[in-house]
Amino acid sequence: MPVSVGVDRVLKKFGDFPALKAVSINVEPGEIFFLLGPSGCGKTTLLRCIAGFYAPEKGSITIGDRDVTTLPPHKRDTGMMFQSYALWPHMTIEENVAFGLEMRKVTRADIRRRVMRALEMVHMSDRAKVKPNQLSGGQQQRVALARALVIEPQCLLLDEPLSNLDAKLRLEMRVEIRRICKEAGLTAIYVTHDQKEALSIADRMAVMREGVIEQIGTPEQVYRHPDNRFVAGFIGEANFIDGVIAEIKDAGATIETALGRFNSRSVAAGIGAGDEVSICLRPEALRFDKPLCNSVNVLNALFTESVYMGEVARHQLRLNSADGSEYKMNAFELNPRKGASQAGRSAELWVEPENVIVIARPLRKG
């Protein structure tokens, strides 16, 4: 049965440095939950606290109905998959996967049954008798996953497991990891700094910065409704324009900016008329077709550079405001036309109100 995982106000220090500052999360049974953030944000420290490799100074950790805060790793009933494969080179794949069960004194017949079932889940049962050096990187990663699964953990912990794979294999393994976790009914907590990895696998995610959690939500919630400018800029790409709320009406807002007036239907809670805000425009939300409105949500831009990437073109744009300030933005064009975006060419872009994300600006200190 899948179990919940609870982290309640966990504080972890290394010397005087607080790596985790009273962090709390609740992972539902059977959920694939991601810890996401830049290097040094505390995501791996939090995972290692859950695994039992680090002991927090304050707070508690529960797995199911058990408080495991002071339990050693081998008594927490978790499986861990690390960034490195860490396979024994002198052992066969079957022996590598069986190792954890042998340490647990499982019977030989049960070991054989559970090892073959784990290898079948990762589509590696036909390679059971070969050694790791006969496998590709992706195949070795599947074996490492089987080794974590074979002990039948209540919770699977994954620490950047795909970072050593090439781009094509990462895409394949994203699908496989989600499939395997769902088929096995596992609760999984997964650490990564790769936004696309998190968006494509997670049921929910926590975005971390400097030992605190900035936002928790589904991939769509975090991407389309970021709580602050950091989250908006970390999850995907973003163009920002500062402005002031002119009016709030019918669950929408009108924002005055140096680049003109914008209407939005994506306004963060608690924002009111007169508030200083930032508009977030995703590069893929900027449209190159004829604007539906004459003056609202329209940008006049100059192409400064374009990069053709096959299915999409990435454009760098320069915009001049009414007060003479210069803005730079990025825009993506799907299925770009040949020669449609030459440097120095001017263009009129626009964005739908649903895609104008309005975020509160923090108050200035002093």
Exposed/middle/buried for 315, CB within 10 Å: 0-12, 13-18, 19+?
Answer: buried
Query: What pLDDT score does 105 carry?
Result: 84
Span 72-89, pLDDT tens digits: 998 998 998 887 777 899
Query: Which CATH number is 237-360's, of 3.40.50.10710, 3.50.50.100, 2.40.50.140, 2.40.110.20?
Result: 2.40.50.140
| CATH ID of 5-224, from 3.40.50.10130, 1.20.1250.20, 3.40.50.300, 2.30.30.140 | 3.40.50.300
Question: How much is the pLDDT for 2?
Answer: 84
pLDDT of amino acid 366: 37
| pLDDT over 70 percentage in the chain | 97
Indicate the domain borders of the chain: 5-224, 237-360
Task: Give me the residues of the chain with pLDDT under 70, please.
Answer: 293-294, 338-341, 363-366
232: its two tokens: 């908006």
Contact 353, 265 (CB under 8 A): yes
- The CA distance from 217 to 146, in Å, is 29
